[in-house]
Structure 1
């Protein structure tokens, strides 16, 4: 990773909120059209430029893959399997930390995907985020373009249409709500999502750690060990958190009331069971379909 050899001064973090040249970070014409005015993109880019300089910021964004191993993955007990699968594909850990996503963060991260989401889907995603922290990991790859590689390895959100060795299949993702693994699709999303996940100082600290991160670190290294332990300790009963059936019937309004009640259960295992049960049956899009 070229930026790892750059001089990193964590005190020099200020930069004006300018947008990057998006054609250098993504091939998506949709992102070219909208990301220039996205405050997350501009804030993420400013912090990268303030830390690394403009050239270093472009290098970091294009030579970094970002994955958030979500709380539903931790709760299901699949975290280790996914970390192993990523390592098997040649990815190198640069930095990692636990990250809790709040209600606003859920909407900020998946704003494009949730444009037509139902209230039920939003509540279930909020409930997933409330299970505890997920694990945010920054990766490099000797073959380059790690963000794009991670997204291909992740697999789609439809269990029927993805490879059996994809990250989501290895995780045990069983539907389009409990997808368990999130990745940034390209360099533009790396810039944006760093700002979604972390406030300024924490973001700068993680990027600086990634730039200092030695190559060749694996799952047992000091880079992953403490944050993995932290997310596991926040969900100590994960092995017992199996899904349980939920009672549905009497119309969508009544089901919505039951859903809200079930998601307020004080016991984490019961909440996780409710999330899994309801995720199998709620309408996901406002046109009544699930995509």
Structure 2
């Protein structure tokens, strides 16, 4: 991922606090507001749903938006700004707040945002802008970190168990499990995953065709306008070596398949193309070697 060490450009912040974050950890939300308000002029928005969340971002004016929430809240913000073609000129900041289980904060950490509330808030105030590539598909969907194509049944199982598609259900499951004694695990209701038959092309060159079953495909934007593609062939006996390539355009086709883009499972589709947009978006991360919070 490309990185440009430029300081944050605005001391006026717009705190968009996702409702899931307020329900999951109100104390962390309060701490984030206190730290940010002590170091900058802040306006706080408490949207009750996606429409209000979007409206707050659209009306941000010159304020730098700070998403207080989990990975899905960050994805929602990036997706909205991308669709409006405002992403390149808007530096996003984030304070991760949510339920850690189920990967609700893993994307933020992978992108370089501290997962601790105070450290993340200080990075918002004193961090640098990190410019990163973006994977954009042919339906205008975005991938911030990693795209994964697991066997069909594995993706279905994730959806049926509430994560990642239903953050409110994941929160409820976490609370219930903390109160109810553990019971012996039940047999899964979904069949054991099997190999998929997919055609994977990188910049028009075939990496794997339908006649070779695959166990998994992963794609990640590595910087400099290219994506790293890895295909793991299905094997019997000894493990087959993965097939790797790098390129700007990746097309996957075949029988109906689902894919996981960051925290979201989508599909089924029969064909999808992802293109790397170089340096398409910026996120505030801690200054390398910096101490974090400046003195007000």
TM-score where L is the length of structure 1: 0.26
> RCO higher in 1 or 2 (8 Å CA, sep ≥ 6)?
1
Larger radius of gyration: 2
Q: Which has the higher strand share?
A: 2
Question: What TM-score comes out, normalization by structure 2 length?
Answer: 0.26
Q: Which has the larger share of helix?
A: 1
